[in-house]
Structure 1
Amino acid sequence: MNGEIFPSGPDFRAMVQGLDSGILIHEAASKNILWANEAACRMFGFRLEELRPLKAHHMSSPDQRYRRDVGVAWLQEAVVRGESRRRWKYRAKNGEVFLTDAVAKRLDFRDGPVVMVVFRGVTPEDDLRAELDRAEGYLQRLMVSASAGIALLDEENRVQDISDFAARLLGTTAEEAAGQRLDALATPSLPLDGEVVSGHLSHPGDPVEITFEVDAEDGTRWLSVDIEVVRHDGIQSRLAAFRDVTEREELARHNEYQQARLQYMSRYNAMGDMAMTIAHELGQPLAAARNSLMGLQARHASGNLSTEDFEYGLDLAARQLTRSAQIVSSVKRYVQRIETSMAVEDLDDVVADALYFAQLRAREKGIELQADLSEEPLPVKVDQILIGQVVINLCFNAVDEVSEAIAEGLTPPPVVELTCFREGDWACFSVADRGRGLAEPTDQAFSTKQDGAGIGLIICERIIERHGGELVFTSGEPGTIATGRLPLVESVGSSEE
């Protein structure tokens, strides 16, 4: 070899021609092909003389992603920025399309700038590897930047990979969480190996939402975790997305506590008031029975007691005691269910049980309580003691309204009407009076009347709403009609708990 710098011009040419990668030289301004190496000619199936006059659309895939203006823009980007890389599908002379990994680079020759495109064929294995690399990179970026924590689980629900944010939500680090079962890091609301979770995860694209309880240093944290099976190119994984729902969960639990307290207070007040009413009602027959027995005792002591009078006195006392027993039995039947939970009941039966106590108030006030129950069953899912108390409260209000209207010199009919009926998908009951109309606000929680029913109209409304229904008040012209609507069980179907 001579002393010139190695390699020489001919050597460079030999090196370029010996490459397996194809090389195309384009004029920078016109994008015309100036030259191609032997590898490029071989891939296209053209001689150099045949390649030179070809344009981008002659030698590219007919797919719209590789149309001529896109190819020109790609080469122009290399002219402006110095280099541009992309996947490009070329088309050979025989029409066969082949995918390449191509790099366009601007070079400044003595005769002016050119764009050199170096490309190599991409095999399916190369394409799959690149796709996996891109997917992994995307997942890593997603796990770093996502507002919801992300974790990858295996089929045993062990953590394979987890974002730092998700690890922090679980009160641990990504390194400590790796390899552990998810239910070892937090307590799930559903067993991860149970039928519900397994049923969802046996079908890709069918996520299951589970609430996890985390014992954190600053208190209990609640996480909503959506676990889903995802498949991509034959690879199956379980993807878990974490969201902090502590505030929502605490609010829900607070509301549950308030609802439980509301029910307790309504029962407590109502039953106390009812006890006073029953004590008053029992006083009459017990006093009558006592008087009969004391009269018999006095007449027996004086020796002036015939057999006929003795039997009459005992019969009178027995009837009064039987009346007392009936009152006690009615109370017992009603209150023995005070701690029961929601159950399917016939609204007619609920109203009939409450009717007895409402009639006590009506008789005391000299008002007739007329009941017209439905001839067809009205199945509803209710807490019987609470709905019964609503009926009693509305009847008490109606009876008192008519009584007070009469006391003021008005002449309403001394009647209150209690009706049960069906209205579409609703089981309904209504209490109607012909009094002065509803003038007082309904937003008191408990009754302030001396002989009230214990709960105010606002609690009546909340009890009905708690059962998925509504309580509305309309004008009876004159008077007021209070109507309670509850969803029929047959219209709720399988969604009932």
Structure 2
Amino acid sequence: MSGSPEITASDFGRLFAALRHCVLVHDAETKAILWANPAACAVLGFTVDELKPLKAPDMSSNARQYAREIGVTWLQRAVDEGTSTIEWSYRSKTGVDILTEAVAVRVDLAAGPVVMVQFRDIAEEKATRRDLFRTEGRLHTFLRNLDEGIVVLDGDGRTLFASATAATLLGGEPDDLLGIDFAGFLAPESAALLREALTTSSQGLSPRNARYRLATPGGADGPARWFAARCQYIDIEHDLRGLLLLFHDITDTVRAEDEHRHDAQYLNHLARYNAMGDMAMAIAHEVSQPIAAAHNFVAGVRSRMNGDGGNLGWGLENATKQLDRAALILSSLRQYVVHLEESKQLVDLNDIVTDCAYFVDVRANQNSVALHWDRTTEALPVNCEKVLIGQVVLNLAFNAVEEMAQWPHKRRTVVVATRRHGAYAVVEVRDTGRGLPNPPFSQIFDGAFSTKGNGHGVGLALSHRIITRHGGDIQATENSPHGTLFRVRLPLLHK
């Protein structure tokens, strides 16, 4: 460039003297110091003339790794190989040890080869590195012991970073998650929520909370798992940029909430049930009087008839039978609903089944189903709310009857049995129908299972809640050779 100064050979001395890096020049053969630049003299506190006669022990740390023979070997390696690097601790004139990174380079001068050593103070750098390693170790320890998983997703939802806890929650290793589409871990509706968060999140927006349901490995019938997540956009020095998710497992919380909803449904059902009982009692009371009056009128007409009365007598006789049947139905209904007690009482489980028998017989006769009662002669004392346990028995028996109504007449059989088994009183309802398809026995009482085309599975869910509240359990198994067996167990009350 026109006007630019030319650098001459004499200028290199001034440029070399202006270097901030420290430079020592050693004789290639004897390793004696020949020269030092001003920066080296300033750091070590010696003049060039003071440095020339010094040996390694005079200007190095006393530590074993800085012994003279090690320093000579390092310099000789530079003579032989052209260059050599070492971490070396020089000692200043005032006795201060200076940790450095030293690079020795062979330089062939006109008078012969020399070794030029460039070194810089790395004590502060080493301390900083130790602090970083210590901080990084602590962070790794904290992250490993956090209950929350941490992931960072790019704009396409692919994982840029995953903590060890995140990998554990998702069932993998952190490195295996990198580059994976995180939405693939989620159920479809939750994946849609995540993609919305990815498109609407940006710098400066407040964090948002969300719930995500994981995709069920076993399909729709597998147990669901849920995460609560806090989402926020981050941009760390343009090095890590994307959607930060902090998430933890809330499966137990969601299940508890579901149980609470089932409890609310149960209470609503119970309120309706009690209201129906009150209505049934009122209807039974009102209807029983005109039925009794009609019965008396028929009896009066028959008493005034001469002979058998022909067709009129036949009609009156059958009318009387129908009135007797209606009266029996009302009597059974009143006896059943009159016990809508809200407190537990000591009762024989056999008596509860007996109270239910009439209603089950009526339903069985309507569907031409053969109903067999196999009640034990042993007492089965239990402490329970009689009407609720009766509701369970009715529900299971009605379900069995409705199932068998779909089969040929010769196969339509339902058995209701009671027995004692250890410390439990047991009621079993057995049918010989199709059984439970691919039996999801662990899920038929969760309120979402039904074998009826128009059913919702609420009856079984309520039955399960009633029985478990009484300290018992209800099970469903395959009946032999085919069909379903429902078994209810209640703790026996020992007097």
Q: TM-score range by the shorter chain?
A: 0.3 to 0.5
TM-score, normalization by structure 2: 0.38
Point out the structure with max Rg over C-alpha: 2
